[in-house]
Structure 1
């Protein structure tokens, strides 16, 4: 059985009344934001007609950094991808990415970046990885880190197998194009017309996780199990249909979740990409939380937050359009 629900809404600063009442201090706290998608262009709309505030989105990030620094307890921030927008003029891409990175660098601690599709529309992988200071081997963008003995964070590269970002002749590009030809008959591979149900995820603006990364993930989860760590998996692309629209899923989310479900150490999967946000609990008790996008915040609103991590839960304290959520572990 899968439990699907909309994340509960709370007033900022009182999200986890029950958690606070229990009197325990968090093991660590960290900031979260997703889909800033800054561009120095006029406001626009998504293909679904949702307003997008390209210039204003960096203001959301600036307010987030100010609040994170004011709190003083956050060990790090995770940016869940799409740092600049695909409509950013290409002659401004490098400067725009540097501008947004500069805002993150005003945070009093490290920022861990994920790569999203809009990042890759603007710059090739090797430049992004350098600018975002992503630990990398051969231009891959997956890595893990343990800020405390009790927790490990696994950062997945959802565009490992992708038709964007790699050189045209790269094996990962060719594999992605073959994958799409076999599953999406439309000339426009970003069109879901005629695709049914979960097949609607087979779009070019999504991507997949390759065999080497899956083997790496399995090794990391084995090690985390031995160390009795709680694992938080982070990916720009969501990993559960209950927390996202059908068009925004990782291509091979099911294959990745088959690996994750082998282990009890994974407690929560966090993602961006689906701008409206979402929250589900899968049949194995793993929480899936997709974050609301900073890009779609009208002036006067926000979408960012911070998370307190405990032995038995993550508590997200959202600001503005980012809904606060308590995620209790099932085992």
Structure 2
């Protein structure tokens, strides 16, 4: 711990934001009637970066997925590319990297390989993930910290050709767990079983093995770990339909590792926070898309442990 004028000094700081879901279309509402401010999402992002992250001096940003809204795809891939360019231009106001992950709305707009390239994920990929075309990776902003970014749609109907093994696996899972003809509907499903919907996804066995390796290596290096995912990992931090399909498998690895400080996620468009039985903090971020004009939905985090206050000291 470094002290300066009697106060703790963080090792590093970073910005967090989720579900920008920008689209160059008029405002609308969600399926549940919640207002959505499609064009203002870009304005809110610009303000978050230029008036929030930059003055705070963060070393990097993290966006937790759903960068462009699925409605933008109705106007064709060229419009999706332009919307993505507009959002990435806003992130570029930060003179440091922003790390991204794939959400369902990302995959409604553009192919996975294209997203990996444009979001800067490709050069960060583990060789096994790159060979599979997946989108999980890890980075270390400081010798004492490892950030693990999951691909929550590694097993999914979204983003893969119909004949791809990951698509076929997702198809079988939904056929087993969701009897509805419309697989985006959780109607009739109870509790956490409601997570088996088409707009969800899971991590593959290969990604689980990679995650275990990352956690073991972090333990050997005496590193703290923060796990990032578009889909939440802990029940009661979000509506059940928003959970990662195989969240239990992931939680088991995180808890047994003894090195995971926190997980952070998006997708739900709502705040969520709990500390689990292993003492891991689970934070779910609100959506920029559903934040009224003039208000903000972003945060800055300083390295350490107090995720609940988002001011974290080592």
TM-score, scaled relative to structure 2: 0.92
Q: Which of 110, 115, 120 in structure 2 is aligned with 1:128?
A: 115
1:307 touches 1:314 (CA, 8 Å); kept in 2?
no
- Indicate the RMSD between aligned Cα atoms, in angstroms: 1.8
**What SS does the corresponding residue of 2:158 show, helix, strand or coil?**
coil
Is the CA contact 2:233–2:243 (under 8 Å) kept in the aligned structure 1? yes
1:95-114 equivalence runs, <5 A: 95-114=82-101
Going from structure 1 to structure 2, the CA distance change for 1:22 and 1:35 (only over 3 Å counts) comes to farther
Change (3 A) 1:325 1:68: closer
Deviations 1:110-156 (CA, angstroms, capped at 9, x unpaired) = 01001100000000101000100102313211110111011110000
Q: Corresponding residue for 2:256?
A: 262
Decide which of 195, 205, 225 is 2:199's aligned counterpart. 205
In 1, Cα distance between equivalents of 2:90 and 2:310: 26
Deviation of the 1:68 alpha carbon: 3.9
More helix by share: 2
1:264 to 1:169, Cα distance in 2 relative to 1, 3 A: same
Residues 87-124 of structure 1 show CA distances to partners (whole Å, capped at 9, x for unaligned) of 11342111111211121112110010011000000001
1:26 paired with 2:13, answer: no
2: CA distance, partners of 1:84 / 1:45:
16
What residue is the counterpart of 1:60 in the other structure?
Answer: 44
Q: Is the 8 A contact 1:309 1:315 kept in 2?
A: no
For residues 275 and 259 of structure 1, the distance between their equivalents in structure 2, rounded to whole angstroms, comes to: 26
**Pick from 237, 244, 249: which aligns with 2:243?**
249
The 1-side partners of 2:5 and 2:249 are apart by: 39
Note the C-alpha offset of 1:168: 1.5
- Equivalent residue number for residue 175 of structure 2: 181
Deviation per CA, 1:171-196, whole angstroms, max 9, x where unpaired?
A: 11111011101000000001011001
Alignment of 1:1-331 (within 5 A): 23-88=7-72, 89-91=74-76, 92-134=79-121, 135-136=124-125, 137-138=130-131, 139-310=133-304, 313-315=305-307, 324-325=309-310
Aligned length: 301
Q: Offset of 1:82 from its aligned partner?
A: 0.3
Structure 2: stretches of 5+ with no match in the other structure:
none
**What is the DSSP-based 3-state SS (H/G/I as helix, E as strand, rest coil) of the residue aligned with 2:269?**
coil
Q: Any idea what SS the aligned residue of 1:188 has?
A: coil
Q: Give 5+ residue unaligned stretches, structure 1.
A: 1-19, 317-323
CA distance in 1, matches of 2:236, 2:7: 32
> For residues 53-73 of structure 1, what are the alpha-carbon distances to aligned partners after superposition, in whole Å with 9 as ceiling and x for unaligned?
011100111001102454252
After superposition, what is the alpha-carbon deviation per residue over 1:239-290, rounded to whole angstroms, capped at 9, x for unaligned? 0012111110000000111111111100100000010120011111100000
Q: Which moved more, 1:146-155 or 1:130-139?
A: 130-139
Q: CA deviation at 1:79?
A: 0.6
TM-score computed with the length of structure 1 as normaliser = 0.87
For 2:235 and 2:12, how far apart are their aligned partners in 1?
Answer: 29
Structure 1 runs of 4+ aligned residues shifted over 3 Å read 324-329
